[in-house]
Structure 1
Amino acid sequence: MTTEVRVPTLGESVTEATVATWFKKPGDSVEVDEMLCELETDKVTVEVPSPAAGVLAEIVAAEGETVAPDALLAQIDEAGAASGDAPKKTEKPQADNKATESPEGQKDMSGNSVDVMVPALGESVTEATVATWFKKVGDQVEADEMLCELETDKVSVEVPAPAAGVLAEIVAEEGATVDAKAKLAVISEGASAGRPAAATPDEKATDAGPEEMTPRSEADAKDFEDAPSAKKAMAEKGVSRDQVEGSGRDGRVMKEDVAKASSAPKSAPAAARAPSKPEDAAREERVKMTRLRQTIARRLKDAQNTAAMLTTYNEADMSGVMGLRNEYKDAFEKKHKVKLGFMSFFVKACCHALKEVPEVNAEIDGTDVVYKNYVNMGVAVGTPSGLVVPVVKDADQKSFAEIEKEIGELGAKGRDGKLSMAEMQGGTFTISNGGVYGSLMSSPILNPPQSGILGMHKIQERPMVVGGEIVIRPMMYLALSYDHRIVDGKGAVTFLVRVKEALEDPRRLLMDL
C-alpha cells in the first residue's frame, strides 16, 4: 500500500514553500511522525512528518524546489522493508576496537556504556546543530563536565557528561543536525583514557598523516548534509567536495553549486577561500554561522530584495515624556508592580499614529493590500545569539502597565532563549531601539511582511532654538523605514510627525489626539 506525503497547511496568506532539506532518502525506513523533510516559507520553517510507517519509495519534490500547499512531496510504501539495514549492523563486529566507527558496534560493549542524548531543547524546538565538541574520542571525562554545545534557532544548549569515564564514540560530529531525541555520543563508564578503544583515531591519524586527517573529516561531516542530487552530480562531473561552495541551508551543497563549480576555472574556488598571503592563515578564524544568524541574514536580505524600502527621519524633544515619567514612576511601580519605561510611550504613540495612517499597519499579499484593524506590536530584542522580535498582541487595546509587563516578560524570554514561535509571529508593525546600544541614528530594515518599522535612538542633549532662544533639550532622532510599494511619502511623514507630537506632548495620548 502506498501513502502520499503532501505539503501541510502553511499558514495564513502563505501560498508556496521551498523544500529545504530531506532527512531521508529513497529506500530508507521511516516511522509514523518521523521527520521526513523541512520546508521554508517567507514566514516560518515547517517540518513534514511521515503519515505512515514503511519505506520512502520516492521523493517527488527535490531539495530546492518550490511547492504549493497540498502538493505531492513523496511516496511511502507501507508494506516495504528498508534495504541496507543489515549490512550496517554487521560491519563492525569488534566493539572495543571500533568504538569510533559504528554506533551499532558500541552496543556490543561490556554493558557499562552510557549514551549521551540531546537534552531538552525547549518548547517548539525540534532540532539542533552540533556546534562545538569540547572533548575528543579517547578523552577522560568527569560527571557533569561539558562535552559539547548545541545551537538551535533560538538558544545555545550545553551538554554535560551523564557519567565519568572515557568518551568512546562521537555519534554526531560538529555541524550535524540532530533531532530532540538523538544520541550524541557514548561514554565508557569507569574506563581510563588508556583503553584500546581510544587508540583507533590516533592510528588513523598516523596512517593518513596530520595534513590529510582534518580536511577529510570536515568533508565527511559536510557530505552528511549535502543534497543527494549534489552528491550524484559531483560524482558524475568528477568534482571534489572541497571545490564546491554550498549556497543551501547550513552551507549545504545544491546541484546548481556543482554545476557552477565545474564550469568555473579550477583555481577560482580555492582563490576565493584562500587568505591573501599564506602567513595570514594563522591569523584568520573561520566560524560557521549559527542557525539563528542564518535565519536573520536570510530574512533581512529577503526584505531588501522584495520591498521598495525607504527611510524618513524626524526628531523628538523627550522633555515631556521624561518629565511625566519622573513625576509618576514611583506611584506607577507601586500600583502596577512594574517600572514605567519609555517603550510603553512609543508603543502607544505608534498605535495612535497607525490609526491615522493605516497603510503603515498593512501588508501586501500578491496583488491585494491587507489592512489590519488591530496592532500587534513587534519589539526587537537583542540576545547573545542575535536579534529576535517578540510580539505584543493587540497592543492598541492595552494599558501602559500591561504593555510594560508584557515587554518585560517577552524580553526576558528572548534573552533566555525560551520564546515560542507563537510569541514571535503575527506582528503588524515593529519598533527597534538601537539607542540602548548608543546608536544616534540608523535606518532600520523592515521585518517582512510588515510595511513599517520605527527606529528609536539615543537620547542626547543638544542645543535647540525654542521661542527665539537657544536652550538645551534631550533630543532623540526617529527613523521610519517603510515599504514604498504601499506607503506613500506623505503617509510616512504624517505617521512620523504624529509620533513626534505624541512624544513631545504625552497628554495627546490620553485625549486620543
Structure 2
Amino acid sequence: MSTEVRVPTLGESVTEATVATWFKQPGDAVAVDEMLCELETDKVTVEVPSPVAGTLSEIVAAEGDTVGVDALLAQISEGEAASTKSDAPKADAKAEKAPEKVDQVDDSYKNDAAKTDSNRSDTEDAPSAKKLMAENNLSSDDVKGTGKDGRVMKGDVLDALSKPKDAPKAAPAAPRSSDQADREERVKMTRLRQTIARRLKEAQNTAAMLTTYNEVDMTAVMDLRNEYKDLFLKKHGVKLGFMSFFTKACVHALHEVPEVNAEIDGDHVVYKNYVNMGIAAGTPTGLVVPVINDADQMSFAAIEKAIAEKGAKARDGKLSMAEMQGGTFTISNGGVYGSLMSSPILNPPQSGILGMHTIQDRPMAINGQVVIRPMMYLALSYDHRIVDGKGAVTFLVRVKEALEDPRRLLMDL
C-alpha cells in the first residue's frame, strides 16, 4: 500500500514553499513522525514528518523545487522494511575472516571507545540541526549534543555558533589560482533571505521614506532599572530590560501621533486604534520581526515576558507565521551589535520604525556645566506620504521625554 506525502498548510496567505533538504532518500526506512524533509517559506522553515511507517519509495519534489500547498512531495510504501540495508552488514560480517588471536588481545583496549563511537553513530541528529550545521560548515563533532544519546538539537548548533571560535592553525599557503572561480563560492539564497531582500527593496521603492534623529539621556531609565531589577525579577520571574521602557514610550507617542501607527491601503489611510509592536530580532538565518499583539494594553512585566518568549522562539527557528504578522509599528535595536547610528528601513505596510543604538558615555552641557551622561541616538524612519515632518519630530521628542523622565508614562503626560 502506498501513502502520499503532501505539502502541509504553511500559514495564513502563504501559498508556496521551496524544498530545502531531504533527510531521507528512496529506499530508506522511515518511522511514523520521522522527519522526511524541510520546506522553506518566506518566513519560517517547516519540517514534514512521515505520516506512516514504511519505505520511502519515491521523491517527487526535489531539493530546490517550488511547491504549492497540498502538492505531492513523495510516496511511502507502508510496511516495507529496508531489509537490504540492514541485512548487508550482517552478511559482510559473516564473510569476514576472524582475526588472529594476538590481534584480538592487542585491540581489546579499544572496545570501550568502539562502543561509544557506535552508540553516537547510531544517533540521528535533529533534521533542523543537520541543516544548520551544513550551512555553517560544522560537523556533529563540533557541537555538544544535549538530546537523547547525545543527539544534536538545533539549539545546540545555535549555542556553538554563538561561542567564539578558536583561531585556526596556520596552514601552508596554497598556490594562487588564476581562475577567479577557485576563489569564490556561490550559494543559493534561502527563501527567507530572498524575501528580506525583496521586502526591503519594496519599502524603498514604494514609500517616501525619510529618517529623523534625536538623542536620549538614558540616566533615568538606567537608575530606575538598577533600583528595581532584583525585585522585578523576584516578583515576575523575568528580567527588567530596556525594551519594555522603549515599547511603553513608543505606545505613549503613537497615541499622540496616530499617523505613525497607520498604513496606506490604496487611496485610504487606515488608522489603528491598537498597537501591535514588532520587535526586530537577528537570527542565524536572517532578520525576523515577531509581533507583540496589543502591546498598548500590557504591563512592563507582560511586555518583558512576551519579548523573552518571542526572542527564544526566533533564535530556535520556531516562530509561526501568525507570530510575525499584523504588526503596526516596529522597534529595531542595532545597539546590541554596537551600532552608534543608522537609518532603519520600514517594514511594509507599516509607516514607522524606531531604531535604537548603543549607549555611549558622552560629555553633555547641562545647566551650564559639562557632565558625562549615558547617551543613545534614536532614529525614526517614516513614510512621508502620510507622516509629516512635524508629526515625526513630535513622535521622537515624546519618546525622548518619556525615557528621560519615566514618571511621564505613569501620569500619561
Alignment TM-score, normalising by the size of structure 2: 0.66
CA displacement 1:376-429 (0-9 Å, x = unmatched): 222112223222222222222221112112222222233333333333222221
Aligned: 1:190 with 2:83: yes
Maintained 8 Å contact 2:344/2:380: yes
The aligned counterpart of 1:130 is 19
AA of the residue aligned to 1:452 = G
SS, match of residue 374 in structure 1: coil
**Is contact 1:166–1:193 with CA below 8 Å preserved after alignment?**
no
Work out the CA distance in 1 between the residues paired with 2:355 and 2:37.
38
Matched, 1:343 2:237: no
Inter-CA distance 331–122: structure 2 relative to 1 (3 Å threshold)? farther
Alignment-derived partner of residue 232 in structure 1: none
**Residue 304 and residue 191 in structure 1: after superposition, are their counterparts in 2 closer, same or farther (change >3 A)?**
same
Q: Aligned partner of 2:84: which letter?
A: A
- Corresponding residue of 1:293: 193
Counterpart of 1:173 in structure 2 is 62
Cα shift at 1:484: 0.9
Q: Distance in 1 between matches of 2:383 and 2:227?
A: 38
Matched, 1:151 2:151: no
Secondary structure at the counterpart of residue 84 of structure 2? coil
* Cα pair 2:340 2:377 within 8 Å, conserved: yes
Taking only the aligned residue pairs, the percentage that are identical comes to 76
Deviations 1:299-338 (A, max 9, x none): 2211111110000111111111011001011111222222
Deviation (angstroms), 1:471: 2.5
Which residue in 2 is equivalent to 1:11?
Answer: none
| Contact kept? 1:349, 1:499, Cα under 8 Å | yes
Deviation at 1:479, TM superposition (A): 0.4
What is the alpha-carbon distance in structure 1 between the residues aligned to residue 264 and residue 352 of structure 2? 12
1:298-309 → structure 2 map (5 Å cutoff): 298-309=198-209
User: Which of the numbers 264, 272, 276 marks the counterpart of 1:364?
Assistant: 264
- Give the deviation of 1:460 after TM superposition: 1.9
The aligned amino acid for 2:377 is Y
Higher relative contact order (CA closer than 8 Å, sequence separation 6+): 2
- The whole-number CA distance in structure 2 between the counterparts of 1:445 and 1:135 is 40
What is aligned with 2:366?
466
2:96 alignment counterpart: none
The AA in structure 1 aligned to 2:234 is K
- Taking the aligned partners of 2:195 and 2:253, their CA distance within structure 1 comes to 31
Give the alignment's Cα RMSD to 1 decimal.
3.5
For the 8 Å contact 1:127–1:152, the answer to whether it is kept is yes
Decide whether aligned partners of structure 1 residues 142 and 422 sit closer, same or farther in structure 2, where only a CA change above 3 A counts: closer
1:141–1:161: 8 Å Cα contact kept in structure 2?
A: no
Q: Deviations over 1:153-178 (max 9, x none)?
A: 34445679999999875432111234
8 Å CA contact 1:127–1:177 kept in 2: the answer is yes
Structure 1 equivalent of residue 154 of structure 2? none
The change in CA–CA distance for 1:364 and 1:328 in structure 2 (over 3 A counts) is: same
2:233 equivalent to 1:333: yes
1:379 is aligned to 2:279:
yes
How far apart are residue 501 of structure 1 and its match?
1.2
Gap regions ≥5 residues in structure 1: 1-106, 108-113, 196-276
Other structure's SS at 1:191 match: helix
Equivalence for 1:221 = none
Are the equivalent residues in 2 in contact too, given 1:122–1:418 (CA < 8 A)? Answer: no
Q: Are the aligned partners of 2:19 and 2:62 in contact in 1 as well (CA < 8 Å)?
A: yes
Describe the superposition over 1:80-102 as per-residue Cα deviations: whole angstroms up to 9, x where unpaired.
xxxxxxxxxxxxxxxxxxxxxxx
Residue of structure 2 in register with 1:46 after alignment: none
Segments of structure 2 that go 5 or more residues without pairing to the other structure are 89-176
| Aligned match of 1:261 | none
Residues 329, 287 of structure 1: alpha-carbon distance in 2 compared, 3 angstrom cutoff? same
Tell me, what secondary structure is at the counterpart of 1:378? Answer: strand
Code of the residue aligned with 1:437 in structure 2: it is Y
Q: Is the 8 A contact 2:43 2:321 kept in 1?
A: no
390-399 vs 488-497, which moves further? 390-399
Once the two structures are overlaid, the 10-residue window that deviates more, 380-389 or 143-152, is 143-152
**C-alpha contact (below 8 Å) 2:23/2:37 kept by paired residues:** yes
Would the aligned equivalents of 1:154 and 1:418 in 2 still touch at CA under 8 Å?
Answer: no
Provide the C-alpha distance between the structure 1 equivalents of 2:221 and 2:83, rounded to a whole number of angstroms. Answer: 64
> Residues 398 and 142 of structure 1: is their aligned pair in 2 closer, same or farther, counting only changes over 3 Å?
closer
Q: Which one of the candidate residues 391, 414, 434 is aligned to 2:291? A: 391
**CA deviation vs aligned residue, 1:460-500 (integer Å, no higher than 9, x gap):** 22232333333222111100001111111121111111111
Match for 1:431 among 322, 326, 331?
331
Task: Say how many residue pairs are matched.
Answer: 319
Conserved? CA contact 1:149–1:159, under 8 Å: yes
Decide whether the 8 Å contact of 2:44 with 2:319 is kept in 1: no
Counterparts of residues 49-448 of structure 1 (less than 5 Å): 117=5, 128-133=17-22, 149-156=38-45, 169-178=58-67, 179=69, 182-184=72-74, 189-192=82-85, 279-448=179-348
Whole-angstrom distance in 1 between the partners of 2:16 and 2:357 = 36
Contact (CA 8 Å) 1:446, 1:481: kept in 2 or not? yes
Offset, 1:431? 0.8
